[in-house]
A and B are shown apart, each in its own frame.
Chain A
């Protein structure tokens, strides 16, 4: 603390004009000391004012810092700082060291303002000593000012008997007060600066808020658009439902061929309308950022082959070959959203098929530019696209030109959606083309994981000597594909283009194990090949495999009758070819099928649209159900009072009492076991969720078809299952999953839409795949390779569940759980259980007779 000592004789000398007793010669030493201390104190307080008051000193803090020193310097008995007000017109006390004297000081200020001394001192940069209002004391006024502004006024009342400020004290006082003024001004400038900054940040905040508001508004608009589209889709789907429903009912009546053709056209047109609506809905979801991507590990080769297989029949109608070439160095297992990738690929391949009249559609999967990417090219030999239109085709509602729309149809949204999806997934979609020569659409994707550990090429390094094989096809893409797959098992494979070339090589290939023959589009022309080869010296143990056009099952059967040992549909699926080559038995025997109906269930239909109501009633009656119809929820409640039902088909949006409300009412009224199935026209997932949340059991999207209706009923009518008695046989030894059906027929029917054809195909495919899976599992157990085991078990679980093989799926799930964790205990037991369940299933499938209810 700074103290300014007073000269020792200050109080004893009565001389009014010598308050400090400086004329007393005995005070010399004390006076020197006073100067030194005063100087110290002033210097120290000035320093403090400059440095020590923080960023924005104010009157009060400055006063607190300087007050004690000022008081001692001038021997004041009270002192105060006055501050100018907002507009700088008036002064008021901002700080005073003796609050009890506030009124007295205020009186002095008023007096000196009135007297003019205050104004006088405002313009003098020094102390002004004047008599107090009562003329008994002396007042010191000193302006607080910097060259740029007046900040306030210092006022001090000299102690009793003091009449003036000694020159030294006066100067020191000025020095301190000037420092005070500078500190105050810096505070003002700082505050102005921070005020400025504050205004600036306020402005920024306001602008940000405006932006957010407009963004919110935009978001709301986009949401409104989505809702609008959803409603539109409802409005459109309802009449389409009527069209397709009535048309399919019409198709059930006796019609001549031309009429049948016309009904088919009606249904196809309606279907394409629905797919257009789906496109628009999907696009609006992408636009609105409502797409949520999955991130799961899956086999890209499977997905690509699925898409190729799905669309190959359509291409085959134009004799356009669909093929897949999978670069052995490209990653197979990728982490991403298989559904969305499949959607993009389906769109690309479907486009390629649509615009290609001759030649092929080739899906090639290649390693990406960097190790963590993969790219898929969809190459066609179609009409191609002008270079200047290449980018344009990714715009929404755009096609290469408007005539394209007329000729090929479509919304023009597919590519826009695809590109957006690709980008959402961290990828890119672009096109290369030469008009007249074809186009290639490239989808570049991240693999979603570090690479290098999952290439399938590893098996080629096995010590096992692969079989010797020859592939015969005039088409490079098929020869290449077969050679590629063959190389995976270390086969000694060679390719020839023609039958004569093949025959020419036979003598030199005594150990030939396989001949793979592409039968092209005319399988009949190959019926004589087995005989010709036999005559040409084909080793007796050599297997003959025919590659038949997509979906040409009949051709396959006929070729087999003519000496081929095996047949596979094109495009060649890697796994199927491998399982054949690796010595696994091929096609299981297909039992003949018969048909059936759902049964005589009592169904209540609640639907406000009369056409939809009629369609539902007719379809259900056709399926053998008893049907009651009502128009809304109130009707449902009324109907339930007089009669019991096995199931309710309930439209969600009905006037009066809608489906959600009705279901909630029913559930809370005790009908908690009655299956209620929502009929929704909107394809928005939210509706399905809302339906389930309100207590409905399932959901059926309009337009309903006979198949979808049948499958849905099968899922929820216990009577149907009991009546048809297709419960699987019970396994002999009790083990986990014994309570489950070996094959859940209803589930399988539901999944396949009740189509016997599809049931046939999917179960067939599964059984084709199984031997390879089993081999992989055994290898995995032998090598204790849990990564492989877990992945195979996962795949098995999925494909078993897909065909309703509940027990097998359960066994696979249990095993997967252990193997994922690297748990090697009882690996053999788990494997045995899986094999047991699979054999159970195989036995059941072989003995099951499928019936087609439509025939």
Chain B
């Protein structure tokens, strides 16, 4: 990869002042979790400091995402039931969504963008649960953030991305390709750079950075393959759009990495659809959170 492309990506991230630092809540939660002395109440307290976040986390925990058989009323109980890391990841995800409130609506509808991102995240989470991963919420976050680089572009290279989108639609060129032509780098690279800057876990960064080319994910091939396949699925089902008009092309080896039987796919997608509808509803009901 040329230094030009990388520096172009760094440039975009630097320009995005609002995203120069990761969501505060993530940092706080990471601090708390990293401290072995931290108790469950500490985590609850960090979230509870943000009323909107608290409400959103509780809504998520009580949503179809978890299909809890009972209602959880407090963050402490949510942490107890859903798990510390899981709550951290949910809180982070919802915070990130709210960080991008001022995306220009004329390029891509924010609700369509988040729709697609949430769809991808939910599918990734369902796949992870199906495969018995111990923290499926990590996959939810990875799916949610996979196209975050394009948000950065839309905010700080609006003209270039507009040309890229237009060319991709007109000429049927792959959007990622057009991005490189018009913006100077693609959204996956920008997204990876952002997560790296935020000190997010390497698994997240790699999954986002290589979600269009999972062969290059040498440390976290499963996470990357999951996001790659989930992106394809959400696109094929028409669950929102982050700008693409066609689904990305499947890399068969990524599917093989997951070892999932295609026969269970309809059932998983039915599950995912219920959860996706629930969280999309939740975000739309509460756009300012």
Contacts and interface: CB of A to CB of B under 8 A. Distances in A.
A and B touch in their complex, CB below 8 angstroms: yes
B39 A164 contact: yes
Contact of B70 (A117, A127, A129, A146): A117
Given A23-B39, A31-B36, A166-B36, A117 B132 contact: no
Interface in A93-149: 115-117, 119-120, 123-130, 138, 145-147
A126 B37 CA distance: 20
Chain B contact surface mostly: loop
Given A23-B37, A167-B33, A125 B133 contact: yes
A418 interface: no
Contact of A125 (B68, B70, B134): B134
Contacts of A31: 36-37
Nearest to B83: A126
Given A117-B70, A145-B132, A17 B39 contact: yes
Contact of A129 (B33, B39, B68, B80): B80
B80 A164 contact: yes
A17 B80 contact: no
Contacts of A22: 36-39
Contacts of A23: 37, 39
Contacts of B197: none
Nearest to A22: B37
Given A115-B69, A117-B70, A125-B132, A130 B37 contact: no
A133 to B, nearest CB: 13
B36 A35 contact: yes
B273 to A, nearest CB: 18
A167 B69 contact: no
Contacts of B83: 124, 126-127, 170
Given A126-B83, A164-B80, A115 B36 contact: no
Interface in B69-85: 69-70, 79-81, 83-85
A170 B41 contact: no
Given A125-B132, A125-B134, A168 B70 contact: no
A119, A126, A128: which has the most chain B beta carbons within 10 Å? A126
B119 to A, nearest CB: 21
Interface in A1-46: 15, 17-19, 22-23, 31, 35
B89 to A, nearest CB: 13
B36 A119 contact: no
Interface in A514-566: none
Interface residues of A, number: 32
Interface string B125-138: 00001011111000
A443 B212 CA distance: 88
B40 interface: yes
A557 B27 CA distance: 139
A163 interface: yes
Contact of A130 (B41, B42, B80): B80
A791 B167 CA distance: 119
Interface in A148-178: 163-164, 166-168, 170, 174
A17 B84 contact: no
B38, B40, B42, B134: which has the most chain A beta carbons within 10 Å? B40
Contact of B40 (A17, A124, A125, A128): A17
A168 B33 CA distance: 10
A147 B132 contact: yes
Interface in B109-156: 129, 131-135
A135 to B, nearest CB: 12
Number of chain B interface residues as a range: 20 to 34
Contact of B38 (A127, A147, A167): A167
A123 B129 contact: yes
Contacts of A35: 36
Contacts of B85: 167
A168 B40 contact: no
A115 B129 contact: no
Contact of A119 (B39, B69, B81, B133): B69
A120 B37 contact: no
Contacts of A127: 83
Contacts of A166: 36, 39
B84 A170 contact: yes
A565 B38 CA distance: 135
B82 to A, nearest CB: 9
Contacts of B80: 128-130, 138, 163-164
Nearest to A138: B80
Nearest to A28: B37
A117 B132 CA distance: 18
A120 B69 contact: yes
Contacts of A170: 83-84
Contacts of B131: 147
A163 to B, nearest CB: 7
A128 B37 CA distance: 20
Interface string B206-237: 00000000000000000000000000000000
A792 B70 CA distance: 110
B39 A128 contact: no
A22 B33 CA distance: 13
A799 to B, nearest CB: 91
A130 B132 contact: no
B81 A128 contact: yes
Nearest to B85: A167
A120 B68 contact: yes
A120 B129 CA distance: 13
Contacts of A129: 80-81
Interface in B34-83: 36-42, 66, 68-70, 79-81, 83
A145 B36 CA distance: 27
Nearest to B39: A17
B74 to A, nearest CB: 12
B70 A115 contact: yes
Contacts of B66: 120
Interface in B4-58: 33, 36-42
Nearest to B259: A147
Contacts of A115: 69-70
Contact of B39 (A18, A116, A174): A18
A414 to B, nearest CB: 74
A139 to B, nearest CB: 11
B134 A116 contact: no
B36 A163 contact: no
A116 B69 contact: yes
A174 B84 CA distance: 14
A15, A145, A164, A174: which has the most chain B beta carbons within 10 Å? A164
Nearest to B131: A147
A164 B81 contact: no
Nearest to B44: A17
A164 B40 contact: yes
A147 B222 CA distance: 15
Contacts of A147: 131-132
Contacts of B134: 125-126, 174
A163 B81 CA distance: 12
Contacts of A168: 36
A152 to B, nearest CB: 16
Contacts of A17: 39-42
Given A128-B81, A130-B80, A145-B132, A163 B69 contact: no
A164 B81 CA distance: 10
Given A17-B41, A125-B133, A130-B81, A116 B70 contact: yes
9 contacts: A22-B38, A23-B39, A116-B68, A120-B81, A123-B129, A125-B132, A129-B81, A163-B80, A166-B36
Interface of A: 15, 17-19, 22-23, 31, 35, 115-117, 119-120, 123-130, 138, 145-147, 163-164, 166-168, 170, 174
Given A31-B37, A128-B81, A145-B132, 10 more contacts: A18-B41, A23-B37, A115-B69, A123-B129, A125-B132, A130-B80, A130-B81, A147-B131, A163-B40, A174-B134
Interface of B: 33, 36-42, 66, 68-70, 79-81, 83-85, 129, 131-135
Q: Which 10 A-B pairs have the closest CB atoms?
A: A116-B69, A22-B37, A17-B41, A164-B40, A17-B39, A125-B134, A129-B80, A147-B132, A18-B39, A23-B37
